[in-house]
Structure 1
Amino acid sequence: MSQKFYCKYCGSSSSSISGLTSSSCSKNPEGKKHVPYEGDEKSKYYCMYCGSSSSSISGLTSSSCSKNPEGNKHVPYEGDEKSKYECKYCGSSSSSISGLTSSSCSKNPHGNKHVPAK
């Protein structure tokens, strides 16, 4: 079985990283090339900013996310599913990504919400 590499902003796939990163991605907030998703393949993908879920990266990233401080689309969480998620800036925790990201984080330099650590 061949390995596939996915773009974390749009879900496009390629059989090689160079093939993926050589073309432009219209959903990249910096307006550049595809960026490889660094997590494992999963049966369900969660947005790192709000906890919304989808069975595919492309399904997740096709919808808007009001909590994304860097753009307007969902961005997949690249860590594994856990029984407790901790904020990578302050250490606050919750049993779900949506629970964690629903409250404010005074230590987040890029926005005002908690962001789950991998």
Structure 2
Amino acid sequence: KSELEAVRAQCSDLKQSLFEDEAEKEKLRKQISQLKSEIKKKGDALTSIEKRFRDTSGRNQLSDGSDKVKGNCLGNFYNFIYEEGKGAPEQNCGAGEQSRGSKSEFYFT
């Protein structure tokens, strides 16, 4: 009899544990959904800012075509900032990085 009671108690404990795990999974699903929503909002805001920048750049185009270089450099600089300083901007836009002491400065070639 005591063996049967022990198995029933173990079964009850497992059911409770399963219930708690399912509740935790649902909580995490909701968090994921909220984070995805936040990411989408930030992405939409970024797209809007980029569009406004392109519109402004289009109105301020320079006749020598340097607006394309400026746009590439800005995009690379944005990527640098967005990646939280994981690396310097790519140098295919005519920009370089020069280190002086503890801070880096960007220059255009």
- Which of 1 and 2 has greater Rg? 2
TM-score > 0.5, shorter chain as reference: no
Higher helix share: 2
Of structures 1 and 2, the one with the larger relative CO (CA 8 A, separation 6+) is: 1
TM-score (norm 1): 0.24
